[in-house]
Structure 1
Amino acid sequence: MTSEYRHTPVLLAECLEQLELKTQHTFLDCTLGFAGHSFEAAKRLGPEGLLLGIDQDEVALAAAAERLASIPEGERPAVELLRGNFGDMDELLVAARVPGVDAILFDLGVSSVQIDTASRGFSFKENGPLDMRMDPGTQTLTAAEIVNTYNAADLTRIIRGFSDEKWASRIADFIVRAREQAPIESSEALVDVIKAAIPASARRAGGHPAKRTFQALRIEVNSELTVLRRGLDAAVRWLNPGGRLAVISYHSLEDRIVKDTFASLANRCTCPPDLPVCMCGREPVLDIITRKPVLPSPEEVARNPRARSAKLRVARKR
């Protein structure tokens, strides 16, 4: 396996502890990648368990299959890898004839593989085409199309709404002006426009000036927040009673969706708060296991800086 597809799983020990995997369990990794989490999970499932993995990237699926196959046959669970988006979980699991799942993991955001591959266009540090599609084989909308065709108001909405960028309006205006001279087609060209838009005094703090804008474009290209809501709803439906759902998020928008979804399903009563007895009959679906998110240790962040913003939330189905 090339170093390009090596990936350090975030909060690995914490995920395994919280998922409470046992032999004969069915485990679903909704963001399989290079099977960083699944490789260790498989060892806990044993030969009578079932490991399911979902990923949009054919190369990642092949890499994961190779890695999982390295587990000795007598210790390895049955493995079924599904190509697709976890937002389409219902269709994928129906096609796989899965009756139910005992533990589900989402590790959100962009994988190290995608970030480090310049041709995918996710990185603001490496020059490449403005693409940012998680699944180039089926998706048509690219970051280049957004940057070169959306009007200033829509660009402002996306950049501010998906990244809380203070200079969103100014960045949008600079993009519109720059593309009048020539299309903005590379990550390097977009970074230059963003740097020009943000005053020098503001660029000296808060990390790379293009980080927030690139995050916002990636979310828009892949409809990430809509897909996340759909995936979480499906995951709860597929969990067996007592099954656990673990989600690692990397920015506040994702974490808020996870937190709100868990809270709404843990307290489904819609009766007025002053009503002494519940009349709606809506029973809770989940128990929240982590009242506060689990964070990576300083040691993990030192080993893997990309873990710095990770937050793990866990719930159990009733």
Structure 2
Amino acid sequence: MSCFGCCGDEDTQRAPDNRNQYPGSHPARNDAYRTADPTPKGPQPVKVQPIAVPTIPMDEIREVTKGFGDEALIGEGSFGRVYFGTLRNGRGAAIKKLDSSKQPDQELLAQVSMVSRLKHENVVELLGYCLDGNTRVLAYEFATMGSLHDMLHGRKGVKGAQPGPVLSWIQRVKIAVGAAKGLEYLHEKAQPHVIHRDIKSSNVLLFDDDVAKIADFDLSNQAPDMAARLHSTRVLGTFGYHAPEYAMTGQLSSKSDVYSFGVVLLELLTGRKPVDHTLPRGQQSLVTWVIFVPNTAQVISFGAVLFGGWNSNNCLVNTGRPPQD
């Protein structure tokens, strides 16, 4: 189902020019000259803007992923499996094979075109794409340090996986600032603006020197028509990160992403998952626990244990506003 609008053609029939009629007279009704209904009927062709990344041959994709073999499989994201492969140009890539879909090729290409033009140091870069029959592949830059979720909680979907090295307070601040800049770019500077819809710690990818980048856009929601996206009633995203108003109504805005990002910040601050069913009832939801915690001492203690050192304690303790000389 296409969500791209289409303007009427120039050859749309128009009412006749009545400038030569006598003043006050009315032209006789003639259905042959009625203005055509401006609303297009049926599926309309999608106009594809130039795509800013190259196509990757399917034989190269199969070669570098070992035929989409299990040894190259590194995870399953939304809407597809992800494989690692080194492209022929020498660049490592996370290669996402999209799940089967009835979406028309032209519609997908229009969405790929939009994502290909997202250029920011804190947004994961699309390197290329491939459409070969029913096989649809997107190649993104590879996150050398994994995801923030993996670093904080252990690799997602792997039973018994252990968290990565403990992040210092400085590292956490740098990751938070980088991810915030990426989200700001999507919301305010990208054209058209992008609403992510699934901001979570596993969609914040980490690179060398603690560079954080926003990843894993749902292409089906990157329609040029912002109104169509705002009024979608299909709730997407991940439980524990949903803004309450979005979960209840399905009405989307950039504020929904900002709420989800706030949950990610709480994860960074406390080291807790957004929802942890191993904890007592009343403490399982991170947001609820933070809201109803009697005082900030418990949150501060989390920071002191996780980050260590006096710097984290000093940053977390409530103090008076410093004088402004």
Q: Give the alignment's TM-score, normalised by structure 1.
A: 0.26
Q: Give the alignment's TM-score, normalised by structure 2.
A: 0.26
Structure scoring higher RCO (CA < 8 A, sep ≥ 6) equals 1
Q: Which structure: greater helix fraction?
A: 1
